[in-house]
Amino acid sequence: MIEIERLQKRTGESTTGGMIRPLDPETKRCLPETLTLLLEDVLSAGTEVKVQVSGRSMAPAIRDGDVVVIRKIRSRQLRPGDLILFKSSLGALVLHRILKLGTIGGTAAFHTKGDGQHAYDGWVSRAGVLGRVVRIEKKTPSGAFRELDMDRRLWVLANRLMAPYQRLRSKLCLSVLPRLFPPK
């Protein structure tokens, strides 16, 4: 397993990534494209990658500072509720939940969203998926980490139930509530 330290504070990039060389010689910052390519290569080789997450888009499931372990998995094995790391259409690395499966031009695709957000990300092609979260190491108040194995039946079931819940939540927040309480 390769451990990757937090990158966002040093680079200002919105990635889930970490401190990886090579650095841009002028800015002394890691190049986001380099990080993405390295993660793709490492995951494709079958190595798990440990990443400290930054951001709040997946709260409360994953909070800023939690650590996730990502493993490459065949896209046919991905299901609604799974947490995946993917390349956005802008090339940024994003870690969000699959809400539903579909196709784009005959190719498998996934509709994703962060648990802490109301709006969907849009469709993610299967080629854009780098891997699936297999473990979450959550910070406890004492500073220690508690490990959650996403392949245990309890967490598989909880994640499967989160997908329809998140879809309903988005529909309520984006469609129903604005009609009930229109802006003044």
74-96: pLDDT as tens digits: 988 999 999 999 988 887 889 99
C-alpha triplet 95, 101, 104: angle, nearest 5°:
95
User: What is the 8-class DSSP label of residue 133?
Assistant: E
Backbone angles phi, psi at 152, to 5 degrees: -70, 145
- The answer to whether residue 109 sits within a structural domain is yes
Q: Tell me phi and psi for residue 126, to 5 degrees.
A: -65, -30
Mean of pLDDT over the chain: 83
In the predicted model, is pLDDT for residue 32 greater than 70?
Answer: no
State yes or no: pLDDT of 13 exceeds 60. no
| pLDDT above 70 as % of the chain | 83
- The band of 26, judged by pLDDT with boundaries at 50, 70 and 90, is low
> Is residue 70 in some structural domain?
yes
Residue 184, in any domain of the structure = no
CATH classification of the domain holding 170: 2.10.109.10
Residue 109: per-residue pLDDT: 93
In a domain, 183, yes or no: no
Cα distances (Å, whole numbers) of residue 150 to 24, 139, 183 = 36, 16, 40
Q: What are phi and psi of 162, to 5 degrees?
A: -70, -30
CA dihedral 159, 146, 133, 89 (to 10 degrees): 100
| pLDDT on residue 30 | 55
pLDDT, position 122: 85
- pLDDT of 21 over the 50 cut: no
142 part of a folded domain: yes
In a domain, 140, yes or no: yes
What is the predicted pLDDT for the residue at 19?
Answer: 31
Which pLDDT value is given to residue 1?
52
Cis ω before 182 (30° cut-off from 0):
no
User: Which residue range is the domain that position 113 belongs to?
Assistant: 2-178
Is residue 149 situated within a structural domain? yes
Q: What is the pLDDT of residues 106-161, one digit of tens each?
A: 888 999 999 999 999 989 999 889 999 999 999 888 988 899 999 999 999 999 99
pLDDT above 90 covers a percentage of the chain that reads 48
- Tell me: pLDDT of 41 over 80: yes
Q: Is 22 helix (H, G, I), strand (E, B) or coil?
A: coil
| Count of helices and strands (H, E) across the chain | 4, 9
Q: Is residue 97 part of a domain?
A: yes
pLDDT at residue 20 tops 70: no
**Count of the separate structural domains present in the chain:** 1
Measured distance CA(25)–CA(174) in Å, rounded? 45
Nearest Cα to Cα of residue 78 among 35, 116, 37, 109: 109
